[in-house]
Amino acid sequence: VSTQSTWEAVVSTQSTWEAVVSTQSTWEAVVSTQSTWEAVVSTQSTWGNTKIFVMTKRTQKVGITRKYGTRYGSSLRKIVKKFEIQQHSRYVCPFCGKVSVKRTCVGIWRCNACKKTIAGGAWELNTPVALTAKSTMARLKKLREEAEQN
C-alpha cells in the first residue's frame, strides 16, 4: 500500500478474489471473482466531497411481500405487507418492559425475556379496540375512587 495524494491499494488473498480501490476526486470500486461474475458498485449518495458506494437494494417497495411476486394485485399486497410487518415485529412486554414479545400463534404472544405468555390480538399485541377498552376502564375506575373518597 502506498500513500500519495491519490493512493491506490491492491488487496489480494489466496481465496481467489482481488479488489482494486482507487481514490481520486471520485471513488471507483471494482470487485471481481473467478466464479465468472463481476459487479461494479454504483454510487448511491454523497458525503461531503466523498462519494459513498452502497450496494443496491433487492426490494425497493415490496419488502416482506416479495414472496408473492406479481400475484394478487398491488393493493392487496400493500395491505398484507402492513399486517405481516405487525405480525413479525417485536413488542414491549407489559411485565418486564423489554422489547422481546413475539407472536407464537394467532392471538398468543410470548415474552422471551421473562417467559410470560400473553393473550392479544391476531396481528399485533394490543388491538386498538383493546386499548380503548383498557383506557375507558382505567378512567371509570379513577372516577369511582374519587367518588368514594368524597
Tens of pLDDT along the chain (150 residues)?
444 433 333 333 333 333 333 333 333 333 333 333 334 334 445 556 666 677 776 667 888 999 999 999 999 999 999 999 999 999 999 999 999 999 999 999 999 999 999 999 999 999 999 999 999 999 999 999 999 998
Q: How far is CA 104 from CA 42, 63, 84, 113, 124, in A?
A: 41, 22, 14, 14, 12
**pLDDT recorded at residue 112:** 95
Q: CB of 134 within 8 A of CB of 121? A: no
How many angstroms separate the CA atoms of 140 and 135, rounded?
A: 9
In what side-by-side order are the strands of the sheet with 17-23?
8-12, 17-23, 27-33, 38-40
b/e sequence 104-136, b meaning 16+ C-beta within 10 Å: eeeeebbbeeeeeebebbebbbeeeeeeeeeee
**pLDDT recorded at residue 117:** 96
C-alpha cell at 33: 471473482
**pLDDT recorded at residue 47:** 54
Among 1, 38, 2, 42, smallest CA distance to 17 is for 38
Single pTM value for the model: 0.54
**pLDDT recorded at residue 60:** 74
- The single-letter DSSP state of residue 13 is -
For residue 51, what are the contacts with CB-CB under 8 A and spacing of at least 6? 26, 27, 43, 45
